[in-house]
Amino acid sequence: MPFVKRDATGALAALFRERAADATEYLAPDHPAVRAFAAAAPAEPTARARLLDSDLDMIRVYEDLIDVLMEKRLVALTDFPPAAQGKLVRHKRLRDSLHAIGDVIQAEDDGIF
């Protein structure tokens, strides 16, 4: 990355991670033209980015809902298909491990260590 697409004047028009039909020229990521193009990118998130953020927020809501339903014994992990069970368990372990790391970092910030 990045492969660049240029407009009719030769200015950068787009950056691509991979070579594309209209983006075959490669520039180093630290090339001044690439840096200038990236710096000029709009600060306002696109509708697609806002939707993705919303999706990620909703995923957290669904995780919390599943946890509540399981705590109240309204649903069991075994009620989910095996593939979903694996994903739920892996994600829970990852979240728990990151939470533990966050506690250590917070403790260091608080001067406990």
State how far the Cα of 109 lies from the Cα of 113, in Å rounded to an integer: 9
pLDDT tens-digit readout, 43-93: 677 888 889 999 999 999 999 999 999 999 999 999 999 999 999 999 989
Q: Please, are residues 25 and 6 in contact by the beta-carbon 8 Å criterion?
A: yes
Distances (CA, A) of 82 to 30, 67, 78: 45, 17, 8
Mean pLDDT of the chain: 84
pTM passes above 0.85: no
Q: Please, are residues 3 and 16 in contact by the beta-carbon 8 Å criterion?
A: yes
